[in-house]
Amino acid sequence: MKIRFDGREPRCGPAGITLTEILISIMILGIGLVSLATLFPIGLLRLREGARYTRSAYLSESGAADMAARGLLNSKSFTFADLLNISPNYTLPIWYPNAANNPLVPGGYNPLIQDSGYGAISATPAYGPFIRYVPANPDPNAGVDASQSGGHGLPFAYDPLWRYQTGIYLDPMDNFNGVAGAPPEARFGSGIHTMRTESDGFFASAHGLQRLTNFNRFSTIGVGGNTYPVMPSSASVPSIFVSPEDYVWQDPTVNNFYSQQGIPLGFGGTPVTTPSAVVPDLNTSTAQATSAQVGQPTNDWRFSWMVTAQQASTGTGAGFDGNIVIFENRPFTYTHVQNLTANYFQVDGETVVEAVYGASNNVWPKGGPGYGAGADRTVLLRWRNTQADPVLKVGDWFADVTYERNENLVVSRFSQTGTWPVIGVPNPLNNNEWDNLPAQRCFWYQVLKLNPAADDPNLAGYRSMTVYVDRKLNAKTLLNGTGQPIFQNAALICPFIVNVIPQTFFVR
């Protein structure tokens, strides 16, 4: 027998677990469980991103094919849509007035390279800026066209699905602001009522791109009791500009009301009582299959698309440079907004704010006017503090939608002629390029990094955030000596946009 030095006999059997060891074990287990739990939301986010990228790829390919195969950007198709609106008693200007059907527009009107005037410039001031109106003797400076664009057309938003879903067309029976036949233009990226007035007393250059469609679905009773016809192809819009419907997997616990031969149950077919839980259910039957009321396929409205583009050359009109814009759960709604100075429609989901492209206090040439040095990917976004902070996160997209639709203001704000006022200077840091041009643009950027929104230190009553983008800016804001914009530029923020894919389109 072994005797301990203290004279006591040692105890037999294994030693017990102490409280300290138990606590340490619980702590280790807790750390593991917490680490494991964090993987689930990360995994869900990755799955969501994967689904977005996959569906974006499908939509981009199908969208590009539709644009080419259907000739959706053919300028003659806009004229055809316009012709369907004509009636002997219809004298107001219509969707795309042109010389073929409207004597008010000498020489015709092509929305891909022309944009009409606005406000009191038109012959009927009550209509602007809510309606496209070109008087018999138009002011040559009232609108803007591609003649000053360097050979390419004006940027536009081709968005038939929004027009189709909201029903906003220039229908003579529409009523807006008490004026019959004056619905809103609903331009893409319009910020004329949300951004501050410029120092010259005019709106900021944020009128937005023309939101175009060449699918006419009028069916109301118009002037003189005439019915405006529906373009037969307009019924295809919900199928063209949305994602193909998802497969619906079969439920093995219920009967499939189509027979194996594809004959409905009520017409002699044999029901499938044990459908597969693995194979997609491709039938369109319903519980009413005993009658002729069989089911119909439905569209998947989660993903949809539109196009922002411009003609690569106005000389041919056959090629377009642009982007397919992919939306997830896009709202097809609008809000009628009234305040002390404006009465307008706000397209839901499209927020327009002031943007300083190339924001920096280091302006070159020194003293201005010039451009921010070392700020080729820096954008300052600014908005009134009465507005909700826009939703913008890393990976999101926003667009430079600076757009001036008055030729006089194009000259005074983006001039490179050397006449007074010279608003525009060559950038010595960029091979003496005129970086504030063009006056009408739509450039898309993806957010790489951003600073949280805060009260703007340079403009009371405004909030701002600084954003860093994925590539060099296509155009920069002209700054004064203190780094503040001489004239405002605009940015469109839409949290429903999940991808923007560059694409070249051709009209064959």
- Alpha helix locations (H) across 420-494? none
| Closest C-alpha among 354, 355, 357, 362 to residue 483 | 362
pTM: 0.77
Tracing tokens 């092509």 back to the chain, one arrives at 110
Distance CA 436, CA 372 (A): 12
Cα 289 to Cα 258, 267, 294, 428, 499, distances in angstroms: 8, 9, 5, 74, 41
Domain coordinates of the chain in residue numbers?
108-113+139-156+170-209+302-506, 246-297
Q: How many helices (DSSP H) and strands (DSSP E) are in the chain?
A: 5, 25
| pLDDT value of residue 421 | 58
Provide the Cα torsion 44, 47, 52, 56; round to 10°: 180
CA 321-311-127 angle, to 5 degrees, is: 120
What's phi and psi for 196, nearest 5 deg? -70, 150
Q: How many CA atoms lie within 13 A of 51 on its CB side?
A: 12
Contact 154, 146 (CB under 8 A): yes
| pLDDT value of residue 4 | 55
Distance CA 211, CA 209 (A): 6
Mean pLDDT for each 10-residue chunk of the chain (508 residues)?
A: 58 70 86 78 73 82 88 79 50 42 51 65 32 41 68 90 75 40 73 85 88 70 48 78 68 54 49 62 49 49 91 85 93 75 76 96 89 94 93 95 87 69 79 89 96 94 96 94 93 95 89
Amino acid sitting at position 376: D
| pLDDT value of residue 313 | 86
| pLDDT value of residue 215 | 81
| pLDDT value of residue 217 | 62
| pLDDT value of residue 265 | 46
| pLDDT value of residue 142 | 58
Distance CA 427, CA 439 (A): 16
Amino acid sitting at position 347: V
| pLDDT value of residue 75 | 79
- Alpha helix locations (H) across 145-209? 160-166
